């Protein structure tokens, strides 16, 4: 396998983990150099896969995140309040310093009525309205998941809800943390970086370089097969799956190093080609996901 240069962003991601980033942020909070910040995690047009992914976080877990670092003021799925009371909490948070996290694309057809998140004072409130209200006032806006970051499956053809990505919708700098879903470390690490150090170093697509610095192909455990021109001809074979449609060469994430499900596995290790779920053209531009 090719050696990775010592200045490669992937090397930093192995040593400056999401947990280390959070520890640095908490240290600053305890030293009163910064304060615990409010967080709105808004679920727009999507499958809620990213909040579920966040619940699977281990290093650190979600309890650590919510107890030590941020005050979660609003989330469609996790908050105890409901109905008008929940949305009132959303409105109250807009008058504070807060980070806005959005998962899911923004449905725009019929003034956003394809995704309604609340009924307040007798009126329906759409995700489109909520993203606009919170996005204009947030200190930082982070899109977690490919739908929020690029449109993703929610905006895939024929896109009956006329969904768009959050960066397309908001006239504001947005940090993209794509993935379908996003790895919990990518989301938590980005939030921790914002709290401890401000804006992370971003690539030209506004993704944190620490997590999206190089392609899956660069660190793939099957890279040596590719270099020697040895390719699998069917699923289950151990060789490089490039000729089966693997999108690792065009997809930027640290999946081979970070891995999933408690840091024990990832798709290619499980004999599944990368489908490019963190890529800007997913899913339309990445399909068919397997080809012979």
For the chain, the domain total comes to 2
| Residue 93 shares a structural domain with residue 181 | yes
Q: Is 37 a member of any domain?
A: yes
Q: Which of 166, 186, 212 is the last residue of a domain?
A: 212
Same domain, 53 and 172: yes
Could you tell me if residue 4 is inside a domain? no
- Phi and psi at 36, nearest 5°, equal -65, 130
Q: Say how far apart CA 135 and CA 132 lie, in whole Å.
A: 5
> Is residue 290 domain-resident?
no
Residues 124 and 196 in one domain: yes
Is 217 labelled a binding residue?
A: yes
DSSP assignment letter at 277: T
Residues 142 and 22 in one domain: yes
Flag whether pLDDT at 42 surpasses 90.
yes
Q: Is 246 annotated as a binding residue?
A: yes
- Answer yes or no: do 88 and 220 share one domain: no
Are 13 and 211 a contacting pair, CB within 8 Å? yes
Condensed to tens digits (0 to 9), the pLDDT of residues 203-245 reads 999 999 999 999 999 999 999 999 999 999 999 999 999 999 9
> Are 74 and 208 part of one and the same domain?
yes
45 is in which domain, residue-wise?
Answer: 9-212
The full DSSP string for 185-197 is HHHHHHHHHHHHH
Residue 274 assigned to a binding site? yes
Are 187 and 50 within 8 A, CB to CB? yes
Is 8 marked as a binding-site residue? no
| Residues 248-283 pLDDT 10s | 999 999 999 999 988 999 999 999 999 999 999 999
> Residue 190, Cβ neighbours under 10 Å: how many?
27
Residue 71: DSSP 8-state? E
Is the domain of 137 the same as that of 179? yes
198 φ/ψ sector (left φ>0, alpha ψ -120 to 50, else beta): left
- Do 141 and 246 fall within a single domain? no
Same domain, 142 and 239: no
Please report the DSSP string for 150-218 in residue order.
Answer: H-GGGG-TT-TT-EE-HHHH-SS--EEE--TT--HHHHHHHHHHHHHHSSPPB-TTS-BHHHHSSBHHH
Tokens linked to 99 = 């980070």
Residues 19 and 113 in one domain: yes
Last residue of a domain, one of 153, 182, 212: 212
Q: Which of these ranges, 20-29, 52-61, 132-141, 225-234, has the smallest mean pLDDT? A: 20-29
8 A C-beta contact, residue 93 and residue 99 = no
- Domain containing 175 — which CATH number? 3.40.50.700
Cis ω before 181 (30° cut-off from 0): yes
Statement to judge: residues 174 and 257 lie in one domain: no
> Residue 242 belongs to a domain with what CATH number?
4.10.480.10
pLDDT band at 17 (very low <50, low <70, confident <90, very high): low
Are residues 277 and 168 part of one domain?
A: no
């Amino acid at each position: 396998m090719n050696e990775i240069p010592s200045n490669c962003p992937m090397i930093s991601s192995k040593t400056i983990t999401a947990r280390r980033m959070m520890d640095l942020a908490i240290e600053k909070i305890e030293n009163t150099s910064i304060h615990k910040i409010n967080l709105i995690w808004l679920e727009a047009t999507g499958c809620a896969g990213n909040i579920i992914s966040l619940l699977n976080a281990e290093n650190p877990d979600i309890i650590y995140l919510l107890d030590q670092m941020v005050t979660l003021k609003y989330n469609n799925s996790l908050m105890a309040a409901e109905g008008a009371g929940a949305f009132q909490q959303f409105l109250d948070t807009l008058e504070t310093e807060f980070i806005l996290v959005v998962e899911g694309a923004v449905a725009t057809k019929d003034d956003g009525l394809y995704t309604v998140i609340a009924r307040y004072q007798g009126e329906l409130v759409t995700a489109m309205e909520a993203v606009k209200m919170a996005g204009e006032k947030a200190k930082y806006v982070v899109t977690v998941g490919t739908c929020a970051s690029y449109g993703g499956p929610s905006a895939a053809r024929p896109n009956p809800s006329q969904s768009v990505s959050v960066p397309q919708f908001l006239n504001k700098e947005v940090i993209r943390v794509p993935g379908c879903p996003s790895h919990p470390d990518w989301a938590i690490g980005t939030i921790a970086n914002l709290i401890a150090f401000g804006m992370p170093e971003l690539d030209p697509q506004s993704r944190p370089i620490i997590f999206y610095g190089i392609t899956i192909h660069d660190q793939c455990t099957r890279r040596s097969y590719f270099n020697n021109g040895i390719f699998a001809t069917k699923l289950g074979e151990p060789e490089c799956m490039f000729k089966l449609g693997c999108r690792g060469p065009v997809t930027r994430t640290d999946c081979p190093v970070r891995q999933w499900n408690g840091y024990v596995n990832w798709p290619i290790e499980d004999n599944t080609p990368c489908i490019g779920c963190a890529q800007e053209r997913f899913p339309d531009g990445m399909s068919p996901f397997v080809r012979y």
